[in-house]
Amino acid sequence: MLPALTVPPLALYVHFPWCVRKCPYCDFNSYTLNGALPREPYLARLEKDLEAQAPQLAGREIISVFFGGGTPSLFAPDAIARLLETARRQLKLAADAEVTLEANPGAVERGAFREYRAAGVTRVSLGAQSFDARSLGALGRIHSPEETRTAAAELHAAGLANFNLDLMYALPGQDLRGAVRDVEEALALAPAHLSHYQLTIEAGTVFAAQRPSLPDEDLSAAMRDECAAQLASAGLCRYEVSAWASPRAQCQHNLNYWTFGDYLGVGAGAHGKLSFPASGEIVRTTQLREPRRYLAAADVDLARRTIPQRELPFEFMLNALRLTAGFSAATFTSRTGLPWQAVEGQIRAAIARGFLHRGADRFRPSERGLEFLNEMLVDFLPENPEKPSGSALSMATPKPLPGAVRPLFTAIRGANGE
């Protein structure tokens, strides 16, 4: 008999697909905003989505909300307040729910953070990327280092000290000193959380077509290690491949993805994952990706796919192996509904290769395991040749924050991220 699938915690992801300008390295579901922001139609469509998805939840509580993008900060605080109100009306939002808003330092009104906080935002994730004006230029960013500093100061002043800075390293023309300086500059702004991603060249981006010259593998590894030492000496702990924070400031929303929790996905291209213990099914939901089509659809057109059991080990490990704290066998069985024997052999092999440590009640990736995540993950791929292409594994590299994760099946279909 299979172990019982249990109901995991539930989060809500809301996607905003527009940016002031599309960055040449970015393969997220985001588009340059041409003309006026379709504020009213988009908000109304999101509300309709929330309403349509609520009945299947049977009163389950939402533990976190993430407004991601694209650039959600293009929507003014009253829009975010309105959505949170709708979410409260349609769903059961936990009183202490973490509510994160992604913001671009070049696309947020001065003084708006106070209002976002009043609207119910408890955490902000700021796309700093670098503090070097030349690097920002090469990345096509719309803001200066000074604008990031101003935004961080405003966050502190607004009582939103619980903020994250996104930084990237191994940038075009960057040297070791430059990468470390970026981390020092970021730490000087006293963020509660820092995400540190190696710039990767993604298919379909401008950088893929006109590849910039990037630091080689050895230099990139040296940057990662030097920056890690800086982050650790500043008192931040690495709790995920690319995420650093004190235990109090870990991102609850992302932790829920990485522990294979459930989430509702609302907005253009957003994915969801929902577990139904009564039928033993885990279902992926996908919204129409293209904003115009998403907006035009008269009815809520949500694609649903039950994840085949053979794909669950890889799906679980793709998330759980990113965490420095690893996972327990009990979490694996209760979140997938599979017996431990489904992965026992691969786990034993990963331990033998030095990728995984066995603790009293958990399995934790070693330093080597975190570095060679892809090699460890290959062993969990489904036997059946509906195999993901290389892109499934590129998702496992220390790359962008999965404000909305890129589940295995999207990769199988060769589509882009969320």
Per-residue x/- track, 92-131, ligand SAM (CB under 6 A): ----------x-x----------------------x-x--
Report the nearest approach of ligand SF4 to the CB of residue 303 (Å): 23
Q: Does 28 bind ligand SAM (CB under 6 A)?
A: yes
Q: Does 152 bind ligand SAM (CB under 6 A)?
A: no
Report the nearest approach of ligand SF4 to the CB of residue 30 (Å): 4
48 closest CA partner among 289, 264, 284, 267:
267
Q: Which part of the chain contacts ligand SAM (CB under 6 A), choosing from 53-61, 116-124, 184-192, 399-407? A: 399-407
Report the nearest approach of ligand SF4 to the CB of residue 64 (Å): 20
* Residue 22 binding target from ligand SF4, ligand SAM, none, CB below 5 to 8 Å by type: ligand SF4
Segment 362-391, which members bind ligand SAM (CB under 6 A)?
none
Report the nearest approach of ligand SF4 to the CB of residue 382 (Å): 31
214 closest CA partner among 196, 227, 201:
201
Are 165 and 192 within 8 A, CB to CB?
A: no
* Residue 240 binding target from ligand SF4, ligand SAM, none, CB below 5 to 8 Å by type: none
From the number of C-beta atoms within 10 Å of its C-beta (0-12, 13-18, 19+), residue 37 rates as middle
* Residue 197 binding target from ligand SF4, ligand SAM, none, CB below 5 to 8 Å by type: ligand SAM
* 55-57-63 Cα angle (round to 5): 135
Report the nearest approach of ligand SAM to the CB of residue 58 (Å): 31
Query: Three-state DSSP class for 133?
Result: helix
Report the nearest approach of ligand SF4 to the CB of residue 214 (Å): 17
Taken in order 111, 62, 402, 24, is the CA torsion positive or negative? negative
DSSP 342-410: HHHHHHHHHHHTTSEEE-SS-EEE-HHHHHTHHHHHHTTS-SSS----HHHHHTTSS-S--SS---HHH
Q: Which part of the chain contacts ligand SAM (CB under 6 A), choosing from 145-153, 367-375, 397-405, 407-415? A: 397-405
* Tokens 């593998």 found at: 217
Report the nearest approach of ligand SAM to the CB of residue 176 (Å): 18
Segment 188-227, which members bind ligand SAM (CB under 6 A)?
197, 199-200, 202
65 closest CA partner among 219, 264, 222:
264
Report the nearest approach of ligand SF4 to the CB of residue 299 (Å): 28
Q: Does 416 bind ligand SAM (CB under 6 A)?
A: no
- The DSSP call for residue 327 is B
* Residue closer to ligand SAM, measured from CB, 29 or 334: 29
Segment 51-70, which members bind ligand SAM (CB under 6 A)?
69
* Residue closer to ligand SF4, measured from CB, 19 or 183: 19
From the number of C-beta atoms within 10 Å of its C-beta (0-12, 13-18, 19+), residue 190 rates as middle
Give the residue, chosen from 101, 119, 139, 168, that forms a contact with ligand SAM under the rule CB under 6 A: 168
* Element (DSSP H or E) covering residue 350: helix 341-352
> Which stretches of the chain bind ligand SF4, using CB under 6 A?
19, 22-23, 26, 28, 30, 69-71, 104, 127
* Residue 315 binding target from ligand SAM, ligand SF4, none, CB below 5 to 8 Å by type: none
Prior bond of 70 cis (ω within 30°): yes
Parallel, antiparallel or unpaired: strands 363-365 and 303-306: unpaired
- The DSSP call for residue 280 is T
Report the nearest approach of ligand SF4 to the CB of residue 40 (Å): 22
* Residue closer to ligand SF4, measured from CB, 26 or 227: 26
Return the amino acid letter for 142: I
Distance CA 79, CA 45 (A): 13
* Tokens 């796309």 found at: 127
Are 397 and 198 within 8 A, CB to CB?
A: yes
Sheet holding 237-240, edge to edge: 237-240, 243-245, 193-198, 163-169, 123-129, 92-103, 61-69, 10-16, 262-266, 271-276, 281-286, 303-306
Give the residue, chosen from 11, 12, 26, 97, that forms a contact with ligand SAM under the rule CB under 6 A: 26
Number of CB atoms found within 10 A of residue 259's CB: 18
What residues pair up with 36 in beta bridges, in sequence order? none
Q: Does 174 bind ligand SAM (CB under 6 A)?
A: no
Give the residue, chosen from 53, 64, 71, 230, that forms a contact with ligand SAM under the rule CB under 6 A: 71
Report the nearest approach of ligand SF4 to the CB of residue 135 (Å): 14
**Interface with ligand SAM (CB under 6 A):** 25-26, 28, 69, 71, 102, 104, 127, 129, 166, 168, 197, 199-200, 202, 399-401, 403
